[in-house]
């Protein structure tokens, strides 16, 4: 309540600190972030984080880094006290994560902090207790080398802030995200998180990014990732990208760093997602952990109080570098599925292995014998030859052997065998063509353009098909007519809730027309937050799926060969629009291994 006639007064330091602290310390996760970054800057090899009630009750971060002397402990909690910068020039060359000298002061202003620290080589540790920015101590204590900070009573003196804290579970989740980011940023540091007494994360600190990815995202995700190492002039990109098989339904798998500092920058995220276009189904987001590295002078990190966004001197360069690196990695590995047959030969195994070394490929339990894996499962960097992905343009040179069960095409590749899922492959071909058609500027009157043969020519209906649609869709039909016409569908309103379809692409079965029309109209009319970018994709994918040859359709050899050639000519031919593989290849080496033959 403002007292009338109040005068301007200088705030006492404690209150000033608390206000300033509010910028840095929003919630328990901010405390965790600051403390963990301090630990990393102190050269720790092990960092342990324990939170109770999501951090609302207590947060404890302990590390085995350089530690602090008793004097350092005493002054560390004052404002603008830092070991990270000493001059303004330092500010433009920031190599550490923390630098403002605010973190500990802020935390000490809004919580109770107990800090125990010992430098290696000293016998005694020192302990201080900070409440409301006043420091008590230091007293001697017994502790391992390193520092441990316990933060309790967070926001006890600012009840308004405390009331705004989310429930324990949400805060715990935020803390977990922060710790996971730190683990991914520093794969050579062992990072652990204990929540409510249970250990929920442990990154082993082996120096291998994949181990950290495995710890955070699980073994299944780690299996589907490939390395990225793209040096450039101004920007280097290092990290891992996951294949379509490990795509997620949310953006939590997209973890980006700039010079090791976690950022949440829309433009950079878009760069990565762009590189995946066409590889992922709708609503799916890639798994990617990438560090964009550049000269510290080329990026300003002092922009945002929570350091979540940064400013580049060369914004476009950063975007391009990131997108290019992802695209190159995805393309290089091909994203193709390889089939594992039989036990892989151990390094140095003698070529004349006994028959008992081979297993029946189709054993009593199918899932035990065959497992499709997206690429090399275990160690990298050297991708195995079979996964290095011959460019599929060479598929034009494949010799078609035949059609299998009316489901798959069997082709002879240069040194082995390829199996093509006829539906997925045809889907991809049609999808590409439809997208082109939709993205091309249409003719002035929006009529259906003549379509070439073999791509689902529009077929007129002798007896027009009537389709029931919800009224709003019928009302919006004029809007969608042009787009649909480009796809080869001609619709006209025929009552409040009925439309008449007089032409649809060939290949669509009469029984499918109703559903297809409903979906297409719905999609064409739906508001899209991204301004329609996804609409084109979805329409094309929908129609492609419905009109492509199905499992069970017999294909004449000429048609099958044409499909192969069309597939070879398609960009991004290795997955269907839904992300499933179109081609599985077995090279000579794998076949020989499966049959227990010596390597050729």
Of 148 and 570, which has the nearer Cβ to another protein? Answer: 148
CB of 206 to another protein, least distance (A): 7
Helix or strand holding residue 129 (H, E): strand 125-131
Sign, Cα dihedral of 84, 90, 92, 94? negative
Give the residue, chosen from 368, 382, 463, 558, that forms a contact with another protein under the rule CB under 8 A: 368
Of 188 and 236, which has the nearer Cβ to another protein? Answer: 188
Q: Write the DSSP string, 165-234.
A: PPPHHHHHHHHHHHHHHHHHH-TTSEEEEEETTEEEEEE---S-HHHHHHHHH-HHHHHTEEEEEE--SS
Give the residue, chosen from 69, 170, 206, 479, that forms a contact with another protein under the rule CB under 8 A: 206
Of 346 and 444, which has the nearer Cβ to another protein? Answer: 346
The closest alpha carbon to 518, from 484, 569, 556, belongs to 484
- Residue 285 DSSP code: B
CB of 123 to another protein, least distance (A): 5
431, 567 contact by CB (below 8 A): no
Of 176 and 524, which has the nearer Cβ to another protein? Answer: 176
Give the residue, chosen from 22, 78, 144, 278, that forms a contact with another protein under the rule CB under 8 A: 144
Give the residue, chosen from 8, 347, 462, 463, that forms a contact with another protein under the rule CB under 8 A: 347
As a whole number of angstroms, the distance between CA 399 and CA 377 comes to 29
CB hemisphere CA count around 391 (13 angstroms)? 5
CB of 62 to another protein, least distance (A): 3
Confirm or reject binding of residue 363 to another protein (CB under 8 A): yes
Confirm or reject binding of residue 166 to another protein (CB under 8 A): no
Of 123 and 463, which has the nearer Cβ to another protein? Answer: 123
Single out the segment in contact with another protein by CB under 8 A; choices: 65-73, 106-114, 140-148, 520-528.
Answer: 140-148
Which residue spans within 547-588 are E strands per DSSP? 583-586
- Main-chain dihedrals φ then ψ at residue 450, nearest 5 degrees: -65, 135
| DSSP-based three-state secondary structure for 404 | strand
Confirm or reject binding of residue 352 to another protein (CB under 8 A): no
Of 369 and 518, which has the nearer Cβ to another protein? Answer: 369
Token duo for residue 304: 């945002």
The closest alpha carbon to 150, from 260, 272, 57, belongs to 57
| DSSP-based three-state secondary structure for 162 | helix
Single out the segment in contact with another protein by CB under 8 A; choices: 26-34, 306-314, 363-371, 523-531.
Answer: 363-371
Confirm or reject binding of residue 592 to another protein (CB under 8 A): no
Confirm or reject binding of residue 357 to another protein (CB under 8 A): yes
Q: Strand pairing partners for 151? A: 59, 113
Helix or strand holding residue 96 (H, E): none
Confirm or reject binding of residue 593 to another protein (CB under 8 A): no
How far the first Cα of the chain sits from its last, in Å, is 86
Helix or strand holding residue 338 (H, E): strand 337-340
239, 228 contact by CB (below 8 A): yes
x/- site string to another protein, residues 63 to 92, per CB under 8 A?
xx----------------------------
Of 44 and 130, which has the nearer Cβ to another protein? Answer: 44
Give the residue, chosen from 27, 79, 161, 223, that forms a contact with another protein under the rule CB under 8 A: 223
Give the residue, chosen from 143, 339, 518, 534, that forms a contact with another protein under the rule CB under 8 A: 143
Single out the segment in contact with another protein by CB under 8 A; choices: 268-276, 373-381, 516-524, 529-537.
Answer: 373-381
* CA 346 vs CA 343, 353, 375, 380, 407: distances in Å: 9, 11, 18, 16, 34
Q: How far is CA 256 from the centre of its chain?
A: 9
CB of 375 to another protein, least distance (A): 13
CB of 333 to another protein, least distance (A): 17
As a whole number of angstroms, the distance between CA 473 and CA 468 comes to 10
Instruction: Write out the binding residues for another protein, residues 486-525 only, by CB under 8 A.
Output: none
Number of H helices, E strands in the chain: 19, 24
User: Listing from the earlier edge strand, what are the strands of the sheet with 498-505?
Assistant: 458-468, 498-505, 490-493
Give the residue, chosen from 7, 316, 365, 405, that forms a contact with another protein under the rule CB under 8 A: 365
As a whole number of angstroms, the distance between CA 359 and CA 363 comes to 8
Confirm or reject binding of residue 190 to another protein (CB under 8 A): yes
Indicate the Cα dihedral angle 308, 48, 52, 68, nearest 10°.
-80
The closest alpha carbon to 107, from 146, 66, 139, 78, belongs to 78
**309: CB partners within 8 A, 6+ apart:** 263, 264, 265, 303
As a whole number of angstroms, the distance between CA 487 and CA 484 comes to 5
Confirm or reject binding of residue 50 to another protein (CB under 8 A): yes
Instruction: Write out the binding residues for another protein, residues 285-344 only, by CB under 8 A.
Output: 343-344
151, 112 contact by CB (below 8 A): yes
CB of 143 to another protein, least distance (A): 6
Of 65 and 573, which has the nearer Cβ to another protein? Answer: 65
Of 199 and 277, which has the nearer Cβ to another protein? Answer: 199
CB of 60 to another protein, least distance (A): 8
Of 9 and 365, which has the nearer Cβ to another protein? Answer: 365
CB of 107 to another protein, least distance (A): 18
Give the residue, chosen from 10, 88, 346, 556, that forms a contact with another protein under the rule CB under 8 A: 346
Confirm or reject binding of residue 378 to another protein (CB under 8 A): yes
Of 366 and 478, which has the nearer Cβ to another protein? Answer: 366
Confirm or reject binding of residue 356 to another protein (CB under 8 A): yes
CB of 125 to another protein, least distance (A): 7
Instruction: Write out the binding residues for another protein, residues 115-134 only, by CB under 8 A.
Output: 123-125
Q: How many residues bind another protein (CB under 8 A)?
A: 48
What residues line the site for another protein (CB under 8 A)? 46, 48, 50, 62-64, 123-125, 139-146, 148, 190, 192, 194, 202, 204-206, 210-211, 214, 219, 222-223, 343-347, 356-357, 359-360, 363-365, 368-369, 377-379
């Amino acid at each position: 309540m403002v007292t009338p006639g109040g005068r301007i007064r200088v705030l006492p330091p404690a209150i000033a600190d608390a206000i300033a602290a509010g910028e840095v310390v929003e919630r328990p996760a901010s405390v965790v972030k600051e403390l963990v970054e301090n630990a990393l800057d102190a050269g720790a090899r092990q960092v342990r984080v324990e939170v109770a009630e999501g951090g609302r009750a207590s947060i404890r971060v302990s590390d085995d880094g350089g530690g602090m002397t008793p004097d350092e402990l005493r002054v560390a909690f004052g404002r603008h006290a830092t070991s990270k910068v000493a001059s303004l020039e330092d500010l433009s060359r920031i190599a550490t994560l923390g630098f403002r000298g605010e973190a500990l002061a802020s935390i000490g202003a809004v919580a109770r902090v107990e800090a125990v620290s010992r430098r290696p080589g000293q016998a005694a540790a020192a302990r201080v207790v900070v409440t409301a920015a006043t420091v008590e101590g230091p007293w001697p204590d017994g502790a391992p080398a390193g520092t441990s900070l316990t933060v309790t009573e967070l926001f006890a003196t600012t009840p308004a802030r405390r009331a705004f804290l989310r429930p324990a579970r949400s805060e715990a989740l935020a803390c977990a995200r922060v710790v996971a980011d730190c683990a991914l940023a520093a794969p050579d540091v062992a990072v652990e998180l204990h929540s409510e007494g249970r250990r929920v994360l442990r990154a082993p600190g082996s120096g291998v990014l994949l181990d950290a990815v495995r710890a955070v995202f699980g073994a299944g995700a780690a299996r589907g990732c490939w390395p990225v190492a793209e040096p450039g002039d101004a920007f280097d990109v290092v990290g891992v990208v996951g294949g379509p098989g490990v795509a997620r339904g949310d953006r939590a798998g997209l973890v980006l760093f700039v010079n090791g500092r976690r950022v949440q920058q829309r433009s950079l995220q878009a760069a990565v997602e762009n590189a995946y276009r066409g590889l992922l189904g709708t609503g799916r987001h890639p798994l990617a952990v990438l560090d964009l590295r550049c000269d510290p002078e080329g990026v300003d990190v002092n922009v945002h109080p929570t350091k979540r966004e940064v400013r580049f001197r060369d914004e476009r360069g950063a975007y391009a570098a990131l997108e290019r690196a992802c695209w190159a990695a995805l393309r290089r590995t091909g994203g193709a599925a390889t089939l594992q047959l039989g036990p892989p030969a151990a390094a140095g195994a003698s070529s004349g292995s006994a028959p008992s070394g081979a297993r029946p490929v189709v054993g009593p339990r199918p899932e035990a014998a065959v497992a499709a894996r997206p690429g090399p499962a275990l160690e990298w960097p050297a991708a195995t030859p079979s996964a290095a992905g011959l460019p599929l343009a060479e598929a034009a040179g494949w010799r078609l052997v035949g059609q299998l069960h009316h489901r798959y095409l069997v082709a002879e590749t240069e040194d082995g065998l390829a199996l093509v899922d006829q539906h997925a492959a045809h889907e991809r071909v049609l999808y590409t063509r439809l997208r082109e058609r939709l993205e091309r500027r249409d003719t002035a009157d929006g009529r259906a353009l003549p379509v070439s043969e073999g791509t689902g020519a529009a077929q007129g209906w002798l007896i027009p098909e009537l389709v029931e649609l919800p009224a709003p869709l019928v009302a919006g039909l004029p809007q969608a007519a042009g787009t649909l016409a480009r796809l080869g569908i001609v619709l006209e309103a025929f009552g409040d809730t009925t439309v008449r379809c007089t032409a649809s692409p060939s290949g669509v079965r009469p029984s499918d027309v109703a559903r297809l029309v409903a979906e297409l109209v719905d999609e064409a009319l739906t508001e899209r937050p991204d301004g329609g970018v996804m609409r084109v994709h979805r329409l094309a994918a929908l129609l492609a799926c419905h009109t492509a040859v199905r499992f069970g359709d017999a294909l004449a050899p000429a048609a099958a060969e044409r499909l192969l050639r069309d597939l070879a000519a398609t960009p991004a031919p290795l997955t269907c629009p839904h992300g499933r593989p179109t081609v599985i290849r077995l090279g000579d080496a794998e076949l020989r291994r499966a049959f227990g033959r010596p390597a050729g």
